[in-house]
Structures are given as structure tokens and as C-alpha cells.
């Protein structure tokens, strides 16, 4: 969740489309929140980690940001609930954080922009300084953290974050986050963190604690009320998102699922039972479990493993003449006795009460989820919704490879003198051919060009036509690298000058914001 460096890829497009960002091809991808590896093939993330393609949800997004339109934001996890909430003027939230290990640079600006865009669309916006993580995982002193933190916050405000409508905080000063981290820590264990993050016997306990603190950050916007929440991050932070989604579920009072009889069944076993129920007449017949077992022994259920069919048959046979009938099940996870009784009372219509679950026959899964959440909140629980996430591409360093805070020539700091920004762009590598003649004949390779990325990710702003013009002229051979870099360098100089002027203008706004600029942990 915490970006401490930016990065980017090239653009994949044709002359007939808005330029898009794309990657190359590798055999495998490793996601490490504290590592420095690049990601060369973003398509692998869909296959290996279940990240969904953003293109699928883009048509539903109201007034999409240009980073979305151009494919810089390329993937998501469960973003639709946030989109629906924004479209219907319902509560939603956005949160991301920044580990202040160096100057904020143009890679960080993408995350700043994503937070600000969601805030302008009506979401509650949260931005945090991950000072506990910086101290535990990176070894920064509190003095160093304070110096960098102020710079991040000034740039965020200069770009348009509204502190009166949103919340800024630092981990070390937010007691609610720390208390929530303690509760979440009871639902995670070392073996799990070892599997996810590669922790071992040499890992500091404070580093491990910083992970559960980030889990608390991700769920913090839901403390007042459960709401769809999106975490904009780079794909290297996906392990944090996945763990937070798991912990959100583990904290819930009740699990809601489909069921067909009094016993528990796996997802695949339920597919078998659904097929048997419908084949034997469904709602128009008095289907018994043993009848369903006989049917499943001889029929093929597409997409279900043989072992799942066999286990379903065994459970159905053991249930004998018990009716096989679809119902919605509320299974007790962490509910108090009082909450369980309140749930039973709240369920209208036909229901059957067991020792550790309740079956309702007149509620859909969606209705049951909302009822369970409301009962939980009314009885002192959190009722967390699983957080969503969107993922943006990394920026390529101006010298090639990954953009890195530790390599000044590879990135442009938002604090760089505008003339230095101009010089860095002029010295950047490009996707041009070896000679002007080849460039005119073959066209440039904008998809591999760090300078074109500057146009697509930053310098074109909201002007898709300008970004497309630059791309088309490059790949068509009409734009030579010298002229292209000169134009980009001038635009970068103007952007930095304007941004730094705005930073000065919002200094008073930061001083008035409700956030501690100096850590109380400084000695």
C-alpha cells in the first residue's frame, strides 16, 4: 500500500487509438512490497495473482481519470462496488500512503492524482505518512522521516487534495489505527506473514508489526461505517491488499453462503447439489438428499472434480431423507451470543436455527450479507467490506530500467529546480532509431520510450488528443527525438515551476491541517 518509489512502462496503442501503456514479456513475476524488481509483463499479474483487467470496468467509471483512459491504471481488485457507490452518490472512500524515504517525485504524483480524483468524485479521502514502516523497514530516523513527510504533504495539497474534506495522518500519531492493528494482529500469524512476505528468523518484530499497521490503515476508512474503499497502489503492493481483504473477512461476525441441507459443503460440492436439485425438479418437487446422491453417482457435473462429486455423494447419502432445498446460511464466526440472538430475531420469513448457524429460506445472498453486516455493527462489530484496489504501471527511469529514488538521474523530483528537470529530460534515453533517416522511414518506438511516458503519464495532462498526437507523430516518423525531448523538457520545466509555486501557496494550509508535522518520538 505504501509507494516509496515510482516507475512506468511504455505505451501500447495504434494510430487509431488513445495511446496506452503496456509491458514486455517475462516468464514469472514476483511481488515484493519492499523490493526493487521491475515488472516487465503486466499480463502475468492477471494469470498469477488474479488481478482483474481495468478495461473491463472502465466503461462503468463516471468521468474516468486520464490515467484510467490511457491504461496507466491497468488492473483492479473488486473495484465495481466503489464505482457503483460513486455513480449513485453513496458513501465510498479512497486511501493510500507514502513511506517518506526520499523526495516525492513524478512517480508518486500518480498516486496523489488518484487520491485527489476519487475525492473530487465524492469519496472520503485519506492520505497517510507511513512513518512506522519507514522506521521499522527502512531504518530511517524520526528526523529524516519528518523532513521528507512535509514535502510529500505539500505536494499532495499543491496538486489539489482538500484537507478540510479529507484526512491526513501519520501512523505513529493515530491511536485508532494502532488499536485496530492490535485487533487485526490476533487474526494473523507468523507462518502466514512468512509465506506472504518471506519473513524469517532474522526479521525484526517491528517490521512484522508494521505489516499489521498497514492492514489497519487499509481498513481505517471503515471504522465509522462499512463502505466500499479503494486503495490505489503499484502492483508490488498487492500482497498487502490481499492480506487486508482476508483479514476483513476474518473479523466479521458471520459468514454468509448458499446451502442445500443442514450440513456444510464446499463450493464445488454445492455445484453438485444445485445440479441435482434442479435435475430432480427443483422447487416443484420434494427432493431428498438420498435421491440427489443417486443422481450424482451416475451423472456428470461439468467443471467439478471427481473428488468433489464423490464427497458430495457421501454427504448427501449420509443425510438420507432430509430435504434438499436451497437456503441462505449465516454461520457464526466471531459473533457474541447477543449478536447471534439478534440475528435470529432479525431474519424474517422461514428459518431454521442450529447451534452455530441459521438457515433462511426467503433471503437472497445479497440481502443476507447486508442484514449480517447491520446486525454486526449494531452489536459492536466492524462489519468490514473487503477493500478494493486499483493498480498503476511503474514509470521507467529516464536513464532506462526502473525509476529509483536512490538514482537522481533516473527520476525527476517534485522538488527539483525547474532547470534541472529540463536538463534531465534532455539527457533521457528514448525509443528513437539510430539515425534521423531510420526514424523517418521506420518510425520511433514510443512503446519503449521513457520520454513518451512523460507525455502519457504527466505532461499531456487531461488532453488525450495531445498524447495521441505525440504518439502518432513518433511511430509515423514525423517526430524526431531531439524536437520531442525539447518539447517535453520545456513542459517539464513549466510543470515544476508551477507545482513549486503552488507548494509555497499551500504552506499555510498544511500548517493549519490536523496532522502532526513533527514526530512525538523524536528525542
* Domain of residue 476, CATH code: 1.10.240.10
Half-sphere exposure (Cβ direction) of 193: Cα atoms closer than 13 Å: 22
32 has a pLDDT exceeding 50: no
Domain with 84, as residue range(s), is: 51-251+386-392
φ and ψ at residue 71, rounded to 5 degrees: 80, 10
CA distance 233 to 76: 10
Structure confidence at residue 28 (pLDDT):
46
pLDDT digits (tens, 9 = 90+) for 400-418: 777 776 677 788 999 999 9
Which set of grid coordinates corresponds to residue 28?
Answer: 514469472
Q: Minimum mean pLDDT among 86-100, 115-129, 272-286, 403-417: which range?
A: 403-417
φ and ψ at residue 380, rounded to 5 degrees: 90, 5
Please tell me whether residues 335 and 446 are part of one structural domain.
no
- Of the three residues 392, 426, 458, the one that is the final residue of a domain is 392
Please tell me whether residues 196 and 247 are part of one structural domain.
yes
Structure confidence at residue 506 (pLDDT):
96
Using CA atoms in the order 282, 284, 287, 293, what is the torsion angle rounded to 10 degrees?
-40
Gyration radius of the chain's alpha carbons: 27
In the sheet where 357-360 sits, what is the strand order? 254-259, 327-332, 357-360, 351-353
Structure confidence at residue 363 (pLDDT):
96
Which set of grid coordinates corresponds to residue 137?
Answer: 523497514
Residue 22 lies in a domain: no
Q: Minimum mean pLDDT among 5-14, 78-87, 446-455: which range?
A: 5-14
The model's confidence at residue 139, banded by pLDDT at 50, 70 and 90, is confident
Residue 43 lies in a domain: no
- Sign for the pseudo-dihedral over CA of 29, 404, 504, 147: positive
Structure confidence at residue 472 (pLDDT):
93
Q: How many domains does the chain have?
A: 3
As a whole number, mean pLDDT of residues 209-213 equals 90
Please tell me whether residues 421 and 366 are part of one structural domain.
no
As a whole number, mean pLDDT of residues 151-164 equals 97
The model's confidence at residue 9, banded by pLDDT at 50, 70 and 90, is very low
Quote the distance between the C-alpha of residue 9 and its chain's center.
Answer: 19
The model's confidence at residue 72, banded by pLDDT at 50, 70 and 90, is very high
Please tell me whether residues 180 and 91 are part of one structural domain.
yes
Please tell me whether residues 266 and 218 are part of one structural domain.
no
- We report the CATH number of the domain holding residue 225 as 3.40.50.620
CA geometry: angle at 152 spanning 148 and 155, to 5°?
A: 135
Average pLDDT, the chain: 88
Structure confidence at residue 408 (pLDDT):
77
- Residues β-bridged to residue 257: 329
Residue 39 lies in a domain: no
Structure confidence at residue 520 (pLDDT):
78
φ and ψ at residue 345, rounded to 5 degrees: -65, -35
The model's confidence at residue 137, banded by pLDDT at 50, 70 and 90, is confident
Structure confidence at residue 521 (pLDDT):
80
Residue 31 lies in a domain: no
47 has a pLDDT exceeding 80: no
The model's confidence at residue 267, banded by pLDDT at 50, 70 and 90, is very high
Structure confidence at residue 13 (pLDDT):
33
Please tell me whether residues 294 and 239 are part of one structural domain.
no
Instruction: Answer for the pair 403, 395: CB distance below 8 angstroms, yes or no.
Output: yes
Quote the distance between the C-alpha of residue 290 and its chain's center.
Answer: 45
Residue 512 lies in a domain: no
CA distance 292 to 285: 12
CA distance 276 to 69: 45
The model's confidence at residue 53, banded by pLDDT at 50, 70 and 90, is very high
Please tell me whether residues 101 and 245 are part of one structural domain.
yes
516 has a pLDDT exceeding 50: yes
CA distance 487 to 426: 9
CB atoms within 10 A of CB 427: 12
Which set of grid coordinates corresponds to residue 353?
Answer: 436455527
Residue 236 lies in a domain: yes
Please tell me whether residues 213 and 127 are part of one structural domain.
yes
pTM summary value: 0.87
Instruction: Answer for the pair 423, 417: CB distance below 8 angstroms, yes or no.
Output: no
Structure confidence at residue 45 (pLDDT):
59
Structure confidence at residue 519 (pLDDT):
81
The model's confidence at residue 29, banded by pLDDT at 50, 70 and 90, is very low
41 has a pLDDT exceeding 70: no
Please tell me whether residues 242 and 323 are part of one structural domain.
no
Structure confidence at residue 46 (pLDDT):
56
The model's confidence at residue 523, banded by pLDDT at 50, 70 and 90, is low
Structure confidence at residue 443 (pLDDT):
87
Residue 295 lies in a domain: yes
91 has a pLDDT exceeding 80: yes
Spatial CA neighbour of 122 closest among 160, 163, 166, 156? 166
10 has a pLDDT exceeding 60: no
- Of the three residues 366, 392, 418, the one that is the final residue of a domain is 392
Please tell me whether residues 64 and 196 are part of one structural domain.
yes
Half-sphere exposure (Cβ direction) of 92: Cα atoms closer than 13 Å: 26
CA distance 19 to 474: 12
Instruction: Answer for the pair 352, 359: CB distance below 8 angstroms, yes or no.
Output: yes
CA distance 274 to 264: 14
Instruction: Look up residue 413 and give its DSSP letter.
Output: B
Spatial CA neighbour of 444 closest among 15, 7, 72? 15
Structure confidence at residue 31 (pLDDT):
39
Structure confidence at residue 14 (pLDDT):
32
Instruction: Answer for the pair 107, 5: CB distance below 8 angstroms, yes or no.
Output: yes
Residue 471 lies in a domain: yes
CA distance 11 to 456: 8
146 has a pLDDT exceeding 50: yes
Structure confidence at residue 448 (pLDDT):
86
Please tell me whether residues 428 and 326 are part of one structural domain.
no
Q: Where do the DSSP E strands lie in 115-155?
A: 124-129
27 has a pLDDT exceeding 70: no
Please tell me whether residues 236 and 134 are part of one structural domain.
yes
Residue recorded with cell 455493527: 377
CA distance 391 to 411: 20
Amino acid at each position: 500500500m505504501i509507494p516509496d518509489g515510482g516507475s512506468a512502462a511504455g505505451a501500447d496503442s495504434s494510430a487509431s487509438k488513445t495511446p496506452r501503456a503496456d509491458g514486455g514479456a517475462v516468464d514469472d513475476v514476483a511481488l515484493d512490497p519492499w523490493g526493487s524488481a521491475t515488472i516487465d509483463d503486466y499480463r502475468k499479474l492477471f494469470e498469477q495473482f488474479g488481478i482483474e483487467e481495468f478495461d473491463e470496468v472502465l466503461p462503468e467509471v463516471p468521468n474516468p481519470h486520464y490515467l484510467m483512459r490511457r491504461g496507466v491504471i491497468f488492473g483492479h481488485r473488486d473495484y465495481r462496488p466503489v464505482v457503483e457507490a460513486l455513480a449513485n452518490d453513496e458513501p465510498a472512500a479512497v486511501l493510500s500512503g507514502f513511506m517518506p524515504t526520499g523526495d516525492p517525485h513524478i512517480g508518486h504524483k500518480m498516486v496523489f492524482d488518484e487520491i485527489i480524483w476519487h475525492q473530487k468524485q465524492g469519496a472520503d479521502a485519506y492520505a497517510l505518512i507511513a512513518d512506522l514502516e519507514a522506521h521499522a523497514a527502512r531504518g530511517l530516523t524520526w528526523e529524516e522521516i519528518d523532513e521528507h513527510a512535509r514535502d510529500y504533504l505539500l505536494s499532495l495539497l499543491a496538486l489539489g487534495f482538500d484537507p478540510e474534506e479529507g484526512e491526513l495522518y501519520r501512523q505513529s500519531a493515530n491511536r485508532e489505527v494502532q488499536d485496530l492493528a492490535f485487533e487485526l494482529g490476533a487474526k494473523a500469524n507468523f507462518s502466514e506473514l512468512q509465506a506472504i512476505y518471506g519473513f524469517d528468523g532474522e526479521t525484526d518484530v517491528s517490521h512484522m508489526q508494521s505489516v499489521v499497521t498497514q492492514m489497519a490503515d487499509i481498513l481505517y476508512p471503515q471504522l465509522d461505517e462499512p463502505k466500499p474503499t479503494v486503495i490505489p497502489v503499484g502492483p508490488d503492493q498487492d500482497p498487502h491488499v490481499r492480506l487486508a481483504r482476508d483479514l476483513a473477512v476474518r473479523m466479521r461476525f458471520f459468514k454468509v453462503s448458499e446451502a442445500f441441507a443442514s450440513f456444510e459443503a464446499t463450493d464445488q460440492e454445492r455445484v453438485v447439489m444445485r445440479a441435482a436439485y434442479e435435475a430432480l425438479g427443483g422447487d416443484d418437487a420434494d427432493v431428498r438428499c438420498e435421491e440427489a446422491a443417486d443422481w450424482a453417482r451416475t451423472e456428470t457435473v461439468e467443471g467439478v472434480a471427481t473428488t468433489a462429486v464423490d464427497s458430495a455423494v457421501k454427504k448427501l447419502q449420509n443425510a438420507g431423507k432430509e430435504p434438499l432445498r436451497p437456503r441462505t446460511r449465516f454461520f457464526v464466526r466471531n459473533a457474541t451470543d447477543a449478536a447471534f440472538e439478534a440475528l435470529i430475531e432479525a431474519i424474517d420469513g422461514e428459518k431454521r436455527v442450529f447451534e452455530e448457524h441459521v438457515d433462511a429460506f426467503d433471503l437472497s445472498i445479497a440481502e443476507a450479507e447486508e442484514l449480517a453486516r447491520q446486525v454486526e455493527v449494531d452489536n459492536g462489530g466492524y462489519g468490514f467490506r473487503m477493500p478494493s484496489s486499483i493498480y498503476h504501471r511503474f514509470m521507467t527511469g529516464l536513464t532506462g530500467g526502473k525509476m529509483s529514488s536512490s538514482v537522481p538521474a533516473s527520476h525527476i523530483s517534485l522538488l527539483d529546480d525547474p532547470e534541472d528537470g529540463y536538463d534531465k529530460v534532455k539527457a533521457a534515453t528514448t525509443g528513437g532509431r539510430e539515425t534521423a533517416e531510420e526514424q523517418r522511414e521506420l518510425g520511433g518506438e514510443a512503446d519503449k520510450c521513457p520520454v513518451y511516458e512523460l507525455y502519457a503519464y504527466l505532461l499531456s495532462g487531461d488532453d488525450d488528443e495531445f498524447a495521441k498526437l505525440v504518439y502518432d507523430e513518433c511511430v509515423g516518423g514525423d517526430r524526431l527525438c531531439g524536437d520531442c525531448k525539447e518539447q517535453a523538457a520545456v513542459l517539464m520545466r513549466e510543470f515544476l515551476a508551477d507545482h513549486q509555486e503552488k507548494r509555497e501557496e499551500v504552506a499555510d494550509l498544511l500548517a493549519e491541517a490536523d496532522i502532526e508535522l513533527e514526530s512525538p518520538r523524536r528525542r
